[in-house]
Amino acid sequence: MADYGTLQEIARSARANLPQNAWDYLTGGGESETTLKRNRLGLDSIGLRPRVCRDVTQIDCSTELLGQTMRLPVCVAPMGSLQLLEPVGAGGVVRAADEFGITAFLSSLTEPQIEEIAPRINHPMVYQIYVRGDDAWVATFVKRAVDAGCGAVCFTVDLALYGRRERDLMKRYRPPTRQAGDMDAFHFQTAWNWDNVKRFKDAHDIPLIIKGIQTAEDAETAVELGVDVVYVSNHGGRQLDHGCATIDILPEVADAVGGRATIMIDGGFMRGTDVVKAIALGAHAVGLGKLVGMGLAAGGQDGVVRTLEVLEEEIVTSLGLMGVTSLDQLDSSFLRPAPPVVEPDLMSPFPFIDFTDKGY
């Protein structure tokens, strides 16, 4: 894995290793993929304002999330059907995050399941639950999380209906997360609401993360109900089409939260400078989904570790060249609007690689 010197090479290897259906499942978005492209456009429309003549001999990229120290301000975002990308599936991803020293979110819709993974890691993970039952059903999944030593549970709330992912639909392809067994109980997800959040907080002590917040209003409601982590996300552009870039939403959410909860974000984050921008705008940590998936496809567990190592090199370099030595020194004064220089696309951060699609 040391042969991978850049994230571009990892992405190229992932593209070469994956069949078309798996590649489209990993990289695609909803309908016209406008939201997906806006995630990238939002990040590309922010320029950096570096400060110079500062001692940056020692740079510390570590942070803390829910009481756990992390080597970088990033987490493995919850992803379903990881076994499509590499046979080790979620087990390899979670073990890679554990080895590297960051928190991993484990989706309830991936393989292997939590009971198989938990005994093989040393640090708490987060269990992300898609609701397929009533409050009693949820309680059984919370118990599984607690028994596995998880540090928190996460509910994804931007999935009241499945987004229309036309790369899959046009090929009549149904990934494992959309098989009949899962769809039979999907109405529970559709009906899940803020009353469920309140009942959860009343019934359970484990920290709660709500993923899919896209407005200041919903961020305020989440904080009022005692949510511990407000997670800004549009599902990587895979759900509502014509949504806004998460990086553009982040400032209003940070203002609404006002320091009363931890803030996370995901949505098109592919480079170290992307992470730096989010931290400067008020996020405590960034979720990595598609990038980690590419690392998995490129080289299994070792590929994910190498992806995180290269990303760390990018973050350290960016911080040093910006004149800061720790994440807490970043704020919006290091940013300014800037025109993008390339057409936005999920893979536009990797301009030296040809990702030409082969027939979706």
Cβ distance 296 to 303 under 8 Å?
yes
Considering the candidates 123, 187, 235, 284, report the single residue annotated as catalytic.
Answer: 235
Our measurement of the distance from residue 78's CA atom to the centroid of its chain's CA atoms, rounded to an integer in Å, reads 7
φ/ψ of 248, rounded to 5, equals -75, -30
Cα pseudo-dihedral 213, 214, 215, 216, rounded to 10? 50
φ/ψ of 100, rounded to 5, equals -75, -35
Which burial class, exposed, middle or buried, applies to 293 when counting CB atoms under 10 A from its CB (0-12, 13-18, 19+)?
A: buried
Q: In whole angstroms, give the CA distance from residue 304 to residue 92.
A: 8
Q: Which helix (H) or strand (E) holds 154?
A: strand 152-156
Whether 235 is catalytic is yes
Q: In whole angstroms, give the CA distance from residue 322 to residue 15.
A: 32
Collapse the DSSP code of 129 into the 3-class scheme (helix H, G, I; strand E, B; otherwise coil) and give the result.
strand
φ/ψ of 125, rounded to 5, equals -105, 180
Cα pseudo-dihedral 60, 64, 68, 74, rounded to 10? -80
Cβ distance 75 to 152 under 8 Å?
no
Q: In whole angstroms, give the CA distance from residue 158 to residue 238.
A: 10
Q: In whole angstroms, give the CA distance from residue 30 to residue 234.
A: 11
Please state the length of the chain: 360
Other C-beta atoms lying within 10 Å of the C-beta of residue 279: 24
Q: What is the maximum alpha-carbon separation in the chain? A: 61
Q: List the catalytic residues.
A: 235
